[in-house]
Amino acid sequence: MRRRRLSPALTAAALAAVTLSALPAAVPPPAAAASALPASRPAAAPDRSVAVVDSTTARYTPSTIGGWSYPVGLYLYGQYLTYRRTHEARYLAYIKDYVDRFVKSDGTIEQSFNSLDSMQAGRLLVILHHETGQDRYRRAAKKIRDRLNTYPRTADGGFWHADTASRAHQLWADGVYMVNPFLVEYGREFGDSAYANDEAAQQLLVYGSHLQVANGLLRHAYDESKSVGWADPQTGLAPEHWCRAVGWYSMAIVNVLDAIPASHPRRAQLLGILRKLATGLERYQDPATGRWFQVIDKGGREDNWTETSCSSMFTYALSRGAQRGYLDPHYAAVARRGYQGVLAKLSTGADGRTELADISVGTNVGDYAYYAARGRATNDFHGLGAFLIMNEQLRGD
């Protein structure tokens, strides 16, 4: 693949000229340009992705949007998907300006990568290398790849949620999204797919083998040592199905299935996990709203509430899974109900900017009361990023 070598300034004009012959593994191809509609037809539906990106970039500059973190990384990945469709150069320039706060010209990045959470924004490094060809991004991404060689694991090979005493021996469903989409995209971009695909598939299997239970859903976390306060002393499992944790897993398994070859030896097992999960998600979808509850399987409790980020994640995964043949086609209709439910949480404020409501703030592992009492934020990056990923998948439906 030939790439344009762009100057560090990366002007909007230069960005507009960039073309790609391939995309990172989990990125769908750009939609074909719509032909002009006759004047007699109704006006086109609003471009909600553009509205969310324009509103968010108006609220924050690349310097004020936040530090190196997975919520910002998730949001900016969604912004990148919007760029891939619209080719709006300032969307990519914004991502580059953010990343360049952390990556020096020689590729140095001052992150220890001692948690899976800290690795998620590494997807932006792969994207920027793909778009610009600048070696600094390869060097920075390689630091994450190399860290995995020494990163602590459970006895059966699962990456700990973090390399700290408080997270030792623990697998959180959140963690599979923090590292595995990056990993398969890194492998594709830098010729390391033999390792990356095998590792990502194995991580999903290890996590799934511990976290998935009979109803198809995943518990939030598992403690191999069975010593932490939230862990069941017999199983090591957390007590609840927290929706965003399961949402992270659902997106990650679809991303990895998109990346690995049809002949991969673990593919059939991954499909089995996804299909069992989809059955559970359909069962617990709120019939009144199309969304999913903060504690997925306890929607009947008065203090439970439907949460926007996980509803976006499930909607994306079910739609993508049905589209790609991983799931039965009827799940497309389940996804459409979810999509309409999430859209009901999007509004326009008096300032003309979008508002996305009922997004759970960041959450540790806890009991039912803990999850039900979590703050319900508006325009939290967890929700904005998940919304953009979902909307770019379903906007044509």
* 79-103 residue pLDDT tens: 999 999 999 999 999 999 999 999 9
φ, ψ of residue 78 to 5 degrees: the values are: -60, -40
Q: Which two tokens stand for residue 27?
A: 């990125």
Could you tell me the pLDDT band of residue 40, with boundaries at 50, 70 and 90? low
pLDDT at 397: 76
- In tens, the pLDDT along 240-273 reads 999 999 999 999 999 999 999 999 999 999 999 9
Which of 117, 174, 297, 358 is an active site residue? Answer: 174
pLDDT at 45: 78
Place of tokens 């990895």: 256
Cut 0.85: pTM above it: yes
Is the pLDDT at 24 greater than 70? The verdict is no
Alpha-carbon span 140 to 106, nearest angstrom? 9
Structural contact between residues 73 and 120, judged by C-beta atoms closer than 8 angstroms: yes
pLDDT at 396: 83
Q: What percent of the chain has pLDDT over 90?
A: 88
Lowest model confidence (mean pLDDT) among 3-7, 80-84, 355-359: 3-7
Q: What angle do CA 58, 20, 31 make, to 5 degrees?
A: 65
Annotation marks residue 174 as catalytic: yes
Alpha-helix residue ranges (DSSP H) falling in 212-324: 243-259, 267-284, 308-324
